[in-house]
Amino acid sequence: MFSAFIFSDEYNYSLEDLNSTSSSFGLNVWEPYYLDYITMHYFGSQG
Amino acid sequence: MSDFQDELRNDDGYENVVIIAIGQTNISSFNSNFCANSDLPLVMDQYPGLPIREQFSPYGQHKYLVILDYDGNMIGNVELTSGVSFSSKEYIRSILEDHYDQSILGDVNNDSTINIQDIILLVNLILVGDTQSNADMNADGIVNVLDIIQVVNIILS
């Protein structure tokens, strides 16, 4: 179990959805709102 | 990207899939290029450490898409250098095909059929105060008689 903890590649974050046109606007994502989802995380920047 | 999410949900049947955009700049600048053309959730990584990118390193780079399963484990990643290309879409679909839980809403015992056996299990869930995602027919976060009614309607239809 100790090894699994060290080598676990679990990710998580919980931040406010800032897109006013999104269905989860104002709520914290991806946890907990999308807990039962397969999530895809796209890293973008200005422009 | 928003269109691709619609494809996955509406055309391919992957309802419980979401693409989340992770920005790293001033929100007003990002909004003008993103929110006007997309309904995807948007979060902002925090300067100066950019902890989300750090957490996803080395895949937390510009234009990278990281796919996580229901437990937050990485199951795929792809660099979208020229948008969501055909090959990128096929790659993502192959990941979903291997990992997406196709359990049927109402199929509580996961035997691919909705019948009286599922209703019996539903009743048991209610009596012990437990929940199960494919038993919550109306997605209100609880399993109760309202969900039983919906399962009965499915059986009778």
Our CA-based measurement puts residue B116 at a distance from the nearest CA of chain A, in whole angstroms, of 26
Q: Name residues whose C-beta falls within 8 Å of residue B127's C-beta, 6 or more positions apart in sequence.
A: none
Q: Considering the domain boundaries, does residue B122 fall inside one? A: yes
Indicate whether B11 and B85 sit together in one domain. yes
Answer yes or no: do B88 and B123 share one domain. no
Predicted confidence (pLDDT) per residue in A1-47, tens digit: 333 333 345 788 999 999 888 999 999 998 888 888 999 999 987 53
Q: What is the CATH number of the domain that holds B33?
A: 3.40.30
Please give the residue of chain B at the shortest CA–CA distance from A12: B72
Find chain B residues with C-beta within 8 A of A21's C-beta. 35, 38-39
Residue B107 covered by a domain:
no
Amino acid (one-letter) located at A30: W
Interface of B with A in 11-40 (CB under 8 A): 14, 16-27, 29-31, 33-35, 38-40
Is B63 within 8 Å of chain A by CB?
A: yes
Q: Which domain holds residue B22?
A: 2-99
Position B85 in a domain: yes
Whether the predicted model's global pTM rises above the 0.95 cut: no
Judged by a CB distance cut-off of 8 A, whether residue B136 touches chain A is no
* Closest CB from B42, B62, B73 relative to A45: B62
Q: Give the residue among B85, B80, B98, B131 at the shortest CA–CA distance from B14.
A: B98
pLDDT digits (tens, 9 = 90+) for B8-28: 988 898 988 999 999 886 666
Question: How many Cβ contacts (< 8 angstroms) between chains A and B?
Answer: 147
Number of domains chain B is built from: 2
In a shared domain, residues B78 and B33: yes
Q: Is residue B17 part of a domain?
A: yes
Q: What is the pLDDT of residues B20-61, one digit of tens each?
A: 999 886 666 666 666 667 889 999 998 888 999 999 999 999
In a domain, B147, yes or no: yes
Residue of A nearest to B15 (CA): A37
- Do B44 and B92 belong to one domain? yes
Contact A38 B26 (CB under 8 A): no
Strands B42-44 and B17-23: parallel
Alpha carbon distance B45, B52 (integer Å): 6
pLDDT of B156 higher than 80:
yes
Burial of A40: CB neighbours in 10 Å, binned 0-12, 13-18, 19+ = buried
- Domain boundary among the residues B99, B124, B142 is at B99
B95 with B68, same domain: the answer is yes
Q: Are B122 and B92 contained in the same domain?
A: no
The answer to the question of residue B44 being in a domain is yes
B137 and B80 in a single domain? The answer is no
B90 and B127: one domain? no
